[in-house]
Chains A and B, each alone.
Chain A
Amino acid sequence: MSKYKLVHYINQFYGGIGGEEKADIPAEKRAGAIGPGLALNQAFGDEAEIVSTIICGDSWFNENLEEAKKTVLEMVREDQPDVFIAGPAFNAGRYGVACGAISEAVKNELGIPVVTGMYIENPGADMYREKVYIIETKNSAADMRKAAPKMAKLALKLAKGEEIGASAEDNYLPNGIRKNFFEKKRGSERAVEMLLAKINGKAYTTEYPMPDFDRVDPQPAIKDLSKATVALVTSGGIVPKGNPDRIESSSATKFGEYDITGVEDLTAETYETAHGGYDPVYANQDADRVLPVDVMREFEREGIIGKLHNKFYTTTGNGTAVASAKKFAEEIARRLIADGVDAILLTST
């Protein structure tokens, strides 16, 4: 039986080229396994091998993202591997982000299964854990000996098309998809052990983390509002009459972005709500009751604000259902920043 083929992605440091001073080298491909790839090859045994290694500077990748992705994708495509493997990046932030980004690109654009690895606090972990399999490692390269067999095991499963187990079984970071598996001990015994750990102040891992209740520090105040561009965002589902993008009333799969250049007032004839979470009668009569375009225009004319941004954004999430809104918000924020907006007035029903 022939071995499964893998392509391995590592940074300039693990490629043996150099440290930070070499972080700007462009991607290059070499035959066979290098550095951490040797440990992976060992873990693969006779079943798989790394046919080529792509070495890429972390700065070069992150600063030339589109070009870097294109270059690396082409290098991967040439070899048609069964699985693509990146890192592990341990706690190296830019390396982790690069591993996540290139793994996601290979998975989505080439349709090749991917595995990467990093420390849970690596910024790449939160960015990519729901997109690609990330094997959880410790925060330093000393963990390579333990990380390699875990990455190899998952890579082999993917190569063979086997079903992937729960995160706790296959050692990847929880990716937001709950999956059943059989523990070694029954639940009550696990509960007693968890309780003893909690009593004794020892580390334990809850089997079901509660939804995210984290906080974010306030941004500094706007110094001069009369020079600021303010954008309107609403979770109240205000859309142009007829809901042209067909935004769903609940569990929406998209958000709305609408141009309000020249719009002075929202009327019953021009705007309505697509939200399924409240009685729509009042918003349909006058959408300014949810999205105050009329008064914002007046403040704009009076010079209280510099400018009302010419687009508004709308979602239909319920007040308490925050999880689904997260991805929309990231994208909305990206566009607002790109458009030079300074501050946001967000209305919720």
Chain B
Amino acid sequence: MKLELGYIDIKGIRFDDYNAIEDGVLVVNPDELVKPVLEDELIKSAHFEIAAPGESVRITPVKDVIEPRVKVEGPGAIFPGMIAKVDTVGSGRTHVMRGMAVVTAGPIVGFQEGIIDMTGPGADYSPFSQLHNLVLVMEMQDNGATAHEYEKAARMAGLATAARVGELARELVPDEVEVFETPTIAQSYSDELKDLPRVAYVMMLQSQGLLHDTYCYGVDVKRTLTTMISATEVMDGAIVSGNCVSACDKNTTYHHLNNPVIQDLFKQHGKTLNYVGTIITNENVYLADKLRSSDWTAKLADFLSLDAAIVSQEGFGNPDTDLILNCKKLEAKGVKTVIITDEYAGQDGKSQSLADADVAADAVVTGGNANELILLPPMDRVIGCLDYVDKIAGGHDGSLRPDGSIEAELQVITGSTNEMGFNRLSAR
């Protein structure tokens, strides 16, 4: 599959009474953009705010981060199966509004995490601190609907808003164009590729229940067997996050759209390695599911005649078991494997980092210790609400100090210890 990504660089966002992209600045009419969001009867109130890099702004509690994209050529539309009809995406041309994101914020559950600071020490840890953020703050009706329904309403509102914003880039001339082409099995044995080591990416997706699920073409991933997807489909929004907890190491929709492992494997494709495919596998609660899914990972690796693989994780706890199972079974097939994870080594860094371990996991990349403490100074403006900061994971007694500063573990910061290797943060 061949996909062209045309990047439209966004250097700022402002409100006005019309919608456009002017000289790299996104202009939006917030009243107009919020209307369709409010059509969902579960959403009591919603409004937009803007946060730019370097501003003294704290966004919390963050649910999802989404990059606006629009499909300009080729079948399907962005976020198929979720807000567009099911149709195979991943070919043709897609425009990307680079440098910005739609951030959804607002409480879904009472202990929700997720802080993005636009300046100060916290800004070093979230990749979203460097983006121009259009924040959609939502408050849910108190009408007895379940948290699951709220999560879905918030998820859909975010995706639909990002798609609407993305439409503004449809007719623009990109600042840069990049082409990605995934090989078929036959093409992976072409003269240029056949002598290079065959490498696949194994992407683990959180699939644990209605508030921490991932969707692929609209299907709940916990109901799937391990399967394959074209990396370009992922770039077109085939995979979206339905996860509203675990701020530091959940993969937001933005992470999926900009999957760094996919990007870095493409950079080496045809040079030092042969990136033959992408395998997606789930992280279920039921142990037999874990065994089956990891068996399937190894089987697909076999089908692809892999020499090597990179496995990325999402979350901590029982997914450590999936990670180790995948690694062990791949290595047992002779597939040289590198895994990407993060650590929970305690605030003092002395505890064992993972909940599972095996000698086969001899090549590990870490996104850092999520338990390490950080002091976040007060910000001039808070988008969302601080009510929840004292309750978020990684906060503790007295987290929120009278002056508005927060002492907490890194796990409160959205995307801080990402397990796709999105960040430079590491630990030793």
CB within 8 Å of B: which A164-222 residues: 166-169, 174, 176-192, 194-196, 198-199, 204, 206-211, 213
Once the chains are docked, how many angstroms separate the CA of A184 from the CA of B124?
13
Contact B310 A195 (CB under 8 A): yes
Set of chain A residues within 8 Å of B336, measured between Cβ atoms: 195, 198-199
Contact B427 A195 (CB under 8 A): no
Identify A174's interface contact among B354, B359, B422, B428, CB under 8 A.
Answer: B428
Once the chains are docked, how many angstroms separate the CA of A196 from the CA of B124?
29
Residues of A in contact, count (CB < 8 Å): 36
Identify B310's interface contact among A182, A192, A204, CB under 8 A.
Answer: A192
Residue B423 is within 8 A (CB to CB) of chain A in the complex:
yes
Contact A191 B340 (CB under 8 A): yes
Set of chain B residues within 8 Å of A188, measured between Cβ atoms: 260-261, 263-264, 310, 312, 340, 420-422
Contact A191 B365 (CB under 8 A): yes
Once the chains are docked, how many angstroms separate the CA of A190 from the CA of B264?
9
Contact A199 B261 (CB under 8 A): no
Contact A323 B427 (CB under 8 A): no
Set of chain A residues within 8 Å of B363, measured between Cβ atoms: 194-195, 198, 204, 206
Set of chain A residues within 8 Å of B348, measured between Cβ atoms: 177
Q: Which 6 A-B pairs have the closest CB atoms?
A: A187-B421, A188-B421, A188-B260, A178-B349, A178-B345, A208-B364
Once the chains are docked, how many angstroms separate the CA of A196 from the CA of B264?
12
Contact A182 B427 (CB under 8 A): no
Contact B364 A192 (CB under 8 A): no
Total cross-chain contacts (CB, 8 A): 146
A213-B359 contact in complex given A178-B345, A191-B338, C-beta closer than 8 Å: yes
Q: Which residue of B lies closest to A185 (CB)?
A: B424
Minimal beta-carbon separation of B157 from chain A (angstroms): 30
A199-B263 contact in complex given A187-B424, A188-B420, A194-B338, C-beta closer than 8 Å: no
Once the chains are docked, how many angstroms separate the CA of A144 from the CA of B426?
29
Minimal beta-carbon separation of B400 from chain A (angstroms): 23
Minimal beta-carbon separation of A19 from chain B (angstroms): 37
Minimal beta-carbon separation of A213 from chain B (angstroms): 5
Q: Which residue of B lies closest to A197 (CB)?
A: B363
Minimal beta-carbon separation of A346 from chain B (angstroms): 23
Minimal beta-carbon separation of A138 from chain B (angstroms): 19
Known: A169-B428, A186-B260, A191-B310. 19 other contacts (CB 8 A): A166-B427, A178-B350, A180-B410, A181-B426, A183-B425, A186-B423, A187-B422, A188-B261, A188-B312, A190-B421, A190-B426, A191-B365, A191-B421, A192-B261, A195-B309, A198-B308, A198-B336, A208-B343, A210-B359
A182-B425 contact in complex given A191-B338, A195-B199, A196-B268, C-beta closer than 8 Å: yes
A-B contact pairs, 10 of them (CB 8 A): A182-B124, A186-B422, A191-B365, A192-B261, A192-B267, A198-B338, A206-B364, A208-B353, A210-B358, A211-B357
Set of chain B residues within 8 Å of A196, measured between Cβ atoms: 268, 272-273
Set of chain A residues within 8 Å of B341, measured between Cβ atoms: 208
Set of chain B residues within 8 Å of A192, measured between Cβ atoms: 261, 264-265, 267-268, 273, 310
A179-B428 contact in complex given A188-B422, A191-B421, A206-B364, C-beta closer than 8 Å: yes
1/0 per position for B402-426, CB-CB distance to A under 8 A? 0000000010000000101111111
Set of chain B residues within 8 Å of A213, measured between Cβ atoms: 359
Contact B364 A207 (CB under 8 A): yes
CB within 8 Å of A: which B354-380 residues: 354, 357-359, 361-369, 372
Q: Which residue of B lies closest to A200 (CB)?
A: B197
Minimal beta-carbon separation of B24 from chain A (angstroms): 25
Q: Which residue of A lies closest to B356 (CB)?
A: A210
Residue B45 is within 8 A (CB to CB) of chain A in the complex:
no
Among B341, B348, B368: residue with most chain A CB under 10 A: B368
CB within 8 Å of A: which B225-265 residues: 260-261, 263-265
Q: Which residue of A lies closest to B262 (CB)?
A: A188
Minimal beta-carbon separation of A201 from chain B (angstroms): 10
Once the chains are docked, how many angstroms separate the CA of A190 from the CA of B340?
10
Q: Which residue of A lies closest to B368 (CB)?
A: A180
Set of chain B residues within 8 Å of A184, measured between Cβ atoms: 424
Once the chains are docked, how many angstroms separate the CA of A178 from the CA of B372?
9
Contact B264 A180 (CB under 8 A): no
CB within 8 Å of B: which A35-60 residues: none
Once the chains are docked, how many angstroms separate the CA of A167 from the CA of B426?
11
Residue B146 is within 8 A (CB to CB) of chain A in the complex:
no
Once the chains are docked, how many angstroms separate the CA of A174 from the CA of B358?
20
Minimal beta-carbon separation of A140 from chain B (angstroms): 25
Set of chain A residues within 8 Å of B184, measured between Cβ atoms: none
Set of chain A residues within 8 Å of B197, measured between Cβ atoms: 199
Set of chain B residues within 8 Å of A191, measured between Cβ atoms: 261, 264, 310, 338, 340, 365, 421
Contact A178 B424 (CB under 8 A): no
Minimal beta-carbon separation of A207 from chain B (angstroms): 5
Once the chains are docked, how many angstroms separate the CA of A189 from the CA of B349?
25
A168-B428 contact in complex given A208-B343, A210-B357, C-beta closer than 8 Å: yes
Set of chain B residues within 8 Å of A181, measured between Cβ atoms: 425-428
Contact B365 A187 (CB under 8 A): yes
1/0 per position for A221-246, CB-CB distance to B under 8 A? 00000000000000000000000000
Q: Which residue of B lies closest to A204 (CB)?
A: B363
Contact B426 A199 (CB under 8 A): no
Contact A180 B372 (CB under 8 A): yes
Set of chain A residues within 8 Å of B308, measured between Cβ atoms: 195, 198-199
Once the chains are docked, how many angstroms separate the CA of A176 from the CA of B366?
15
Contact B310 A187 (CB under 8 A): no
Minimal beta-carbon separation of B51 from chain A (angstroms): 23
Contact B424 A180 (CB under 8 A): no
Among A166, A176, A187, A204: residue with most chain B CB under 10 A: A187
